Amino acid sequence: MKTLVRKFNICIEMNKDYQAYSDFKEGVNKGLDLAKCSFEENLEKLSLSFPDDDQVEGVRILENDFNQFLDGITLSKTPNCSEERLDGVHTGFERSKKIFKEFIKESFFPMNT
């Protein structure tokens, strides 16, 4: 489990913008961080057992579970959080969903990459 968390964290970190000079880009990074934390906090809830012969279904199940965790996060605008930053967070969530799908394929089904 710790290895999966570490691998996913590396995938997320590689996709962050370390020169985020706008509210939107900072929001994207925040969304990626929230996705990283959500994965770590909910890993034990993910269904990591699936039929060996149906890899596509396994990826779909894990992807749907992860997406539900992210979709369940509610964000509200605060006085020090601009609309651009909130848009960036949502973009970060969408980007992390794509990262997660690739991470699952590489981690569980390396033959199909």
Q: Distance (Å, rounded) from C-alpha 55 to C-alpha 13? A: 26
Written as six digits, the tokens of 57 are: 């279904």
Rg (CA), the chain: 15
pLDDT at site 58: 77
Q: Which amino acid is at 45?
A: K
pLDDT at site 108: 74
Q: Which amino acid is at 84?
A: E
SS (H, E, C) 47-89: CCCCCCCCHHHHHHHHHHHHHHHHHCCCCCCCCCCCHHHHHHH
Q: Which amino acid is at 24?
A: F
Q: Which residues of the chain have pLDDT under 50?
A: 113
pLDDT at site 113: 43
CB 7 within 8 A of CB 107: yes
CB 29 within 8 A of CB 92: yes
How high does pLDDT run on average in the chain? Answer: 86
pTM recorded for the entire structure: 0.84
